[in-house]
A and B are shown apart, each in its own frame.
Chain A
Amino acid sequence: MAVEHTSGKKVGSVMLYALSTCQWCNKTKQLLRDLGIDFDFVYVDLLEGKEQSEILDTMEKWNPRGSFPTLVIDNKRCIVGFQEGQIREVFGT
């Protein structure tokens, strides 16, 4: 699966579902990088067929609207959209 990893400070599992063309996804990814967080991300638009629909099914459990970016933290909390304040708050900065 085309999940990419960015190394950084470990704060549990952090998964970003994104689109390669979406600027809010881009900003979210950049913010996580700036915060130095260890996270995984996947560009759902670059996947195809079954692989894409399986990822979407997982993502929609967290965000039923199926929109991007969707950020899932520690399999507990989900942040939809580029919510800079909320993201900073979760990672304590």
Chain B
Amino acid sequence: MTLPVFPDALIDATYSDLKKEAEDGGYRLNQDIDFTKNLIRGLLKNEQRYGYRACPCRLATGKKEEDLDIICPCDYRDPDLDEFGACYCALYVSEAVQKGQQKLSPIPERRPPRANRKNPQPLTPKGLAPLAALPLPVWRCKVCGYLCAREQPPEVCPICKVKKDRFERFI
């Protein structure tokens, strides 16, 4: 057996939560429910073995700092949605795909290969002083691009719901 057997009730509940969260933020889950639920089994398996929902279609290291960019929703979801109509795993799809107006085809991997991955940026990079005219730094959510001007990024992105550690200093 390749995926642990999670109770159907858990899969259904996770599916409903993800769907609601997606739709609240203007995103859509893949309309193929069986396919989507299998991806959710993968996310839950990764949560169980790594402690976070690493992307089911990518190899996680189990070290959170190295896997931050592929914690679902990953940093690559939005560019892939724009270019191919789906995220790499096809958990999230565009409106055209969801309505059957566009067919899915395999998406090339956008994540840099192992050897070229940058070390994660600290939340307050040195040498990036706030613009003199700005009273506050500006933070950007690396997943959805949400910007906010405040001392620290929010605990949870109000748009795509990822955690604080997915923000970068923008200005």
**Chain A positions near chain B (C-beta within 8 angstroms):** 19-26, 43-45, 56, 60, 64-68, 80-83
Indicate if B101 sits at the interface (CB-CB under 8 A): no
Of A22, A24, A26, A44, which is in contact with the most chain B CB atoms at under 10 Å from its CB? A22
Chain B: interface size category = 20 to 34
Residues of A near B42 (CB, < 8 A) are 20-23
List the count of A-B residue pairs having beta carbons below 8 Å apart.
Answer: 67
Chain A residue nearest in CB terms to B42: A21
**Chain B positions near chain A (C-beta within 8 angstroms):** 2-3, 35, 38-39, 41-43, 45-46, 56-60, 89-90, 106-109, 111, 113-114
- 23 A-B residue pairs with CB within 8 Å: A19-B58, A20-B2, A21-B3, A21-B42, A21-B46, A22-B42, A22-B89, A23-B38, A23-B42, A23-B89, A24-B106, A25-B57, A26-B38, A44-B59, A56-B114, A60-B113, A65-B108, A66-B109, A66-B113, A66-B114, A67-B109, A80-B108, A81-B107
Chain A residue nearest in CB terms to B54: A21
Residues of B near A67 (CB, < 8 A) are 58, 109, 111
